[in-house]
Amino acid sequence: MFQEPSHIRGIKGHDGNSGSNYPASYNDDWVVSVGASGTNGQYKSFTNGDIIPGTGMSWWESSFGGGMDLIAPGVGELVTSTINPSAPVGLPSCSLTGETMYDCFNGTSAAAPHVAGVSALMYSLYNTNAGFAHNLAPEDVGSILQESAVDVVNPILMYGAEYDEHNGWGLLEANTSLQRISPPDWCIFHNGAPLNTTQVIGAQQQISLPYEINGLVAGTYTAKRHTITHTYTDVFGSATTIHEGWRRNSSTIGLSAANPVSDKMWESVAFTSIPGASNIMTVTATTNTWFVMNASNGQQINQWLPAPPAELKTAYSLHLQNCTSWLPTDDIAAANFIAISPNPTTGNLNIRIKNEQVDQASVTVFNSMGVSVLARSNIDGAYSTDIDLSALPTGIYLVQVATNLGQSSHKVIKL
């Protein structure tokens, strides 16, 4: 399942309804919306926590719906907080736990710090200071939290499998969240440069800016939309499985096609797996930029929003299972003894294997859409073979060389 990303912590509220509460109800790309769970680990209702003595009922329910992501402990029976040392003498102790130096803490205000704390643990584990290729992106944290949550299923209350509006993706699970970013079992891959880029220029039209963007005041302008599509093909070691993927708007440079124009970064990302190859993923990512030509009064503008086409950027993450790095150790070694030339090429491609321990090898060529367009198997390990690409269209291809000692992937330009 490919889930949508989330960025910052949001508190859903305790009104017991599905109305909008902010910041939790902002666009799901921007926030992690957190509801409260009760003593049974399910949505906090009137009967599973903060029970008023002698009544069997509580005084509050968690808010829900509106794309809420997950729930976390939010009742006084489970959550306490230290008492301010300067508080007046005689401050009541927590009546639900009997603690004398702590006080009860409840509501989604108590649930959200649990999510923030687990997020902090994830950031502290996975970062460049710890030797990783990159820091976790906000979307990485949000997606892993959702994926790792304990699913809440209750047929009586109509809490269905996977997502439901009362429990989101489920109950926060700290241990699993950390395990899912711990190599060599799990790691997060951030995309590199695209294999191919296409551009479609739209017709001249009137656009509206509802507020100032990049120095252009709110108003009506004449502009053309340029739609940029990037395609990628990611190939990992044969033992690696691509578990899922998500877009990263926090690393994107590009806008949506919506008019009125927003300055919020946006992209559309489609993930396509290769049948029978769980270690290969083709990704198509689309975003937009506007070339603003004139203001409504005829003033010449000639400005890009947000940037020229060549500077647009699309970004996504892949969640990998069974990985020691972006390529397993044996594949890194394989890349060191396999040479491909010439690159760029007009047709002939020579593949040279510089290791006497190689008995057999196979070569697969993928186009920018991740489709195999040429394959050679049972190549003699005599250290050199030629592949003819002359019949293939001009473009960027991925050449995968597999041997008994490992495999490696190489980008090749066909002129």
Domain ranges of the chain: 1-182, 189-321, 329-414
Pair 124, 78: CB distance under 8 Å: no
Pair 165, 144: CB distance under 8 Å: no
Instruction: Say what percent of the chain tops pLDDT 90.
Output: 45
Each residue's pLDDT tens digit, 89-102? 444 445 555 556 66
Residue 223 to residue 295: CA distance in whole angstroms: 9
Each residue's pLDDT tens digit, 169-215? 999 999 999 999 988 889 999 998 888 899 999 999 999 999 999 99
Residue 182 to residue 321: CA distance in whole angstroms: 10
Per-residue pLDDT band for 306 (boundaries 50, 70, 90) equals very high
Residue 128 to residue 117: CA distance in whole angstroms: 20
Per-residue pLDDT band for 68 (boundaries 50, 70, 90) equals confident
Q: What is the pLDDT of residue 384?
A: 74
Pair 186, 320: CB distance under 8 Å: yes
Say which residue the tokens 């294997």 belong to.
Answer: 353
Each residue's pLDDT tens digit, 74-122? 998 888 777 655 555 444 445 555 556 667 788 888 999 999 999 999 9
Average pLDDT over every residue of 249-266: 95
Residue 104 to residue 275: CA distance in whole angstroms: 53
In this predicted structure, the answer to whether residue 382 has a pLDDT above a threshold of 70 is no
Each residue's pLDDT tens digit, 132-156? 878 999 999 999 999 999 999 998 9
Structure tokens at 102: 């702590």
Q: What is the pLDDT of residue 129?
A: 83
Q: What is the pLDDT of residue 324?
A: 54
Q: Which CATH class is domain 1-182?
A: alpha beta
A 10 A CB-CB count for 177 gives 22
Cis peptide before 23 (omega within 30 of 0): yes
Residue 161 to residue 202: CA distance in whole angstroms: 43
Per-residue pLDDT band for 268 (boundaries 50, 70, 90) equals very high
Architecture of domain 329-414: Sandwich (2.60)
Q: Lowest mean pLDDT of 116-130, 189-203, 381-395, name the range.
A: 381-395
Residue 335 to residue 219: CA distance in whole angstroms: 55
CA-based angle 104:108:112, to the nearest 5? 100
Q: What is the pLDDT of residue 142?
A: 93
In this predicted structure, the answer to whether residue 403 has a pLDDT above a threshold of 50 is yes
